[in-house]
Amino acid sequence: MQLAFILYKYFPFGGLQRDFMRIALECQARGHAIRVYTPIWEGEVPAGFEVVVVPVKALFNHKRNEKLTAWVEADLAKRPVDRVIGFNKMPGLDVYYAADGCYEDKAQTLRNPLYKYWGRYKHFADYERAVFAPESKTEILMISEVQQPLFIRHYHTPLQRFHLLPPGIAQDRRAPANAAEIRAEFRAEFNLADDDLLLVQIGSGFKTKGLDRSLKALAALPRELKKRTRLIAIGQDDPRAFQLQAKALGVSDQVQILKGRSDIPRFLLGADLLIHPAYNENTGTVLLEALVSGLPVLVTDVCGYAHYITQADAGRVLNGPFEQERLNQLLADMLADDSRRALWSCNGLAFAGRADLYSMPQHAADIILATRS
């Protein structure tokens, strides 16, 4: 079959983008042709992919999205395909991969009532409704159990159109046999002494991921513990506001903010704790990547995958409502307790060996290929 995938932006370091790539490659491995529509493509194009960089521009994202939809509809009319798979909400999809949470729920609970009068709201609400309305035929690939009830509450979407997928952690995130050697080399490269402690925070969108909270928690550590603790944040975002915050908190010498990169497994093996105090997060793939590499996790309960950390006993989950003082205390307790971190690490590795945290691309491809246009 000829399959068309649509997404608003591709770059190698986004969670949605990595999920798209693994699903598309799985479909290609089963013998199907892949065409991708996107206004922005950064990185290499896999062999055999037809990537159509759609020439649309606009001052506002929602206007650009509308131009993209119209352009793709016109091209598909001329060059039909067997399935249309979207990784962002939009009309005309046979299958939607639900990487994002319920927009309507956020608009009603987190926004000023006047927000609904903006053109931006109308656009994103209409595009979400095009996927989830009862009369829509779009099949929905869900990766978060938490979000499904919200979509049903707001749109009365028939339950049979939802397909809950297992996580899709890449096998290369699992701790290899030479993990200790990789850790030693990494810590030597970053000048980390044996008693130094390294926090990592990984994920694009520093504001949503709660990097400001992590910086405050680092600054609040007891004096002796703070002296030997460093934080490395990695992601595609503008670091300037957070660099200024680190300076104001007096921890700028202990903080590095790096751009997205492809050697994340080294950081997971070399660090002592992953901190992820997100404001909201549909899933949080990095939580499971840390778990399967044996890195303990400190995370807020709003993340869709936080329950795996509890289930595996591989760290601590901070329950809401969020309190900065509670995060500060949990971080200090976790960093001060070497034996407990070692136990959480062992628990994560054991869980990685018995739980299905890896088969999302295969399950997604099954549903895509079975769906009738």
CATH number for the domain formed by residue range(s) 2-166+358-370: 3.40.50.2000
Here the tokens at position 268 are: 């997971």
Taken in order 207, 211, 215, 220, the sign of the CA dihedral is positive
pLDDT at 100 over 80: yes
SS3 content of the chain, % helix, strand, coil (to 5): 50, 15, 35
Residue 28: which pLDDT band, with cuts at 50, 70 and 90?
A: very high
Q: What value does the mean pLDDT take over residues 53-82?
A: 96
Distance CA 218, CA 230 (A): 8
Task: Using alpha carbons only, give the angle 76, 14, 306 rounded to the nearest 5 degrees.
Answer: 120
pTM for the predicted model, two decimal places: 0.86
pLDDT class of 95 with cuts at 50, 70, 90: very high
Residue 104 has pLDDT above 90, yes or no: yes
Q: Which pLDDT tens digit goes with each residue over 263-306?
A: 999 999 999 999 999 998 888 999 999 999 999 999 999 998 99
Q: Given this model, what pLDDT does residue 35 score?
A: 98
The torsion defined by the Cα of 217, 241, 317 and 199, in degrees rounded to 10, comes to -60
If DSSP codes are grouped into helix, strand and coil, which group holds residue 96?
strand
Q: For residue 302, which of 162, 101, 20 has the smallest C-alpha distance?
A: 101
d(CA 60, CA 89): 17
Domain with CATH 3.40.50.2000 in the chain: 2-166+358-370, 171-354
- Of 171 and 54, more confident: 54
Torsion of CA 286, 292, 298, 303, to 10 degrees: 50
- Phi and psi at 264, nearest 5°, equal -55, -40
> Residue with structure tokens 């200790």?
180
* Cα(8)–Cα(150) distance, integer angstroms: 24
Class of the CATH domain delimited by 171-354: alpha beta
**What is the C-alpha separation between 173 and 357, in angstroms, rounded?**
11
pLDDT, tens digit, for every residue of 216-262? 999 999 999 999 999 999 998 999 999 999 999 999 999 999 998 98
Mean pLDDT score, 308-330: 97
Residue 3's H or E segment, with its range, is strand 2-6
- CA angle 149–170–95, rounded 5-degree value: 40
Residue 334 pLDDT exceeds 80: yes
For residues 5-21, give the mean pLDDT: 93
10 Å Cβ neighbour count for 48? Answer: 9
Q: From CA 365, how far away is CA 360, in angstroms rounded? A: 9
Phi, psi of 258 (to 5 degrees): -110, 155
Cα-flanking dihedrals φ and ψ of residue 76, to 5°? -65, -30
> Can you tell me the distance from the alpha carbon of 162 to that of 183, in angstroms, rounded to the nearest whole number?
41
Q: What ranges make up the beta strands (E) of 179-293?
A: 197-202, 229-234, 255-258, 273-276
Task: Please answer whether residues 286 and 306 qualify as being in contact, where contact means their C-beta atoms are separated by less than 8 angstroms.
Answer: no
Q: Coil, strand, or helix at residue 312?
A: helix
Q: Indicate the pLDDT class of residue 373, thresholds 50, 70 and 90.
A: low
170-215 confidence digits (pLDDT tens): 888 899 999 999 999 999 999 999 999 999 999 989 999 999 999 9
Q: Which two tokens stand for residue 115?
A: 């927000």
For the chain, the average pLDDT equals 95
- Which whole-number Å values give the CA distances from 270 to 190, 239, 247, 274, in the listed order? 9, 23, 25, 11
Q: What is the mean pLDDT of residues 4-13?
A: 95
CB 37 within 8 A of CB 31: no
The predicted model gives 338-357 an average pLDDT of 97
What's the confidence (pLDDT) of residue 276?
A: 98
Q: Indicate the pairing of strand 33-38 with strand 2-6.
A: parallel
Which residue intervals of 200-263 are DSSP H helices?
206-209, 211-219, 223-227, 240-249
Residue 366 has pLDDT above 70, yes or no: yes
> pLDDT category, 157, cuts 50, 70, 90?
very high
pLDDT over 90 at 144, yes or no = no
